[in-house]
Amino acid sequence: MSSLQIALDEYLSVRRALGYKLVLEGRLLRRFIEFAKHARADYITTELALKWATQPAHAQPSQWANRLGMVRRFARYCCPNDPRTVVPPPDLLPHQYRRVAPYIYSDQEIIRLLEAARQLPSTIGLRRHTFATLFGLYAASGLRANEALRLDRDDVDLINGVLTIRDTKFGKTRYVPVHPSTRHALQRYANLRDRLCRTPSSPRFFLSDRGTRVTYDM
């Protein structure tokens, strides 16, 4: 194991102990370590950080700046233990973040999306219902993508029509009441899911044909 890999494990452990999740940052910094390994680099330099940060070439400048910022924070942690470490200057990749204008789906577009989801191929007949119900829940509740995917069965109160959203973006839990029509749709899905998938391997509310949780990549 390289010295940079050891330092990264310590860095992530320390920051996570302070309450930072660092899911994306941890994943990207591990890619940076692999990049450094292929470059035969034992310590961080500005040139190394800049080459890695500006990949992929088609990415937005804001993404490059974010990647460089991750390496800068890691480099500051490495400095006391390895004086060869160079912390890249903060203004190497200046950018001004511009939020993309949101696209609001019309009612007809949502209906077409749900109809298309109901046509998805499925080995046991569950997949099409999983995605149609999931997309319908997004439209009806405004939940973030992963909030709905992380719902366990116990988080969905089908009697009172209340969803328990745990460990949200800011580490809090909140309750989301849903319309009776949404509750009925969730109940129909739950009945069908339990009939088609009698021995699931996951406690999640939304399941794949194999009885596993539905991931963001899916």
Active-site residue 27, yes or no?
no
Alpha-carbon gap, residue 149 to 53, rounded angstroms: 30
Quickly tell me which residue has 């699931």 as its tokens: 200
- From the list 16, 112, 144, 174, the catalytic residue is 144
Active-site residue 51, yes or no?
no
Give residues with Cβ within 8 angstroms of 85, minimum separation 6. Answer: 43, 44, 75, 78, 79
DSSP string, 92-157: SS-----PPPPPPPPHHHHHHHHHHHTT---SSS-HHHHHHHHHHHHHHH---HHHHHT-BGGGEE
**CA angle 199–184–166, rounded 5-degree value:** 65
- From the list 40, 169, 172, 198, the catalytic residue is 169
Give residues with Cβ within 8 angstroms of 18, minimum separation 6. Answer: none
Residue 39 in contact with residue 48, Cβ under 8 Å?
A: yes
- 159, 163, 167: which is closest to 178 by C-alpha? 163
The catalytic site residues sit at: 144, 169
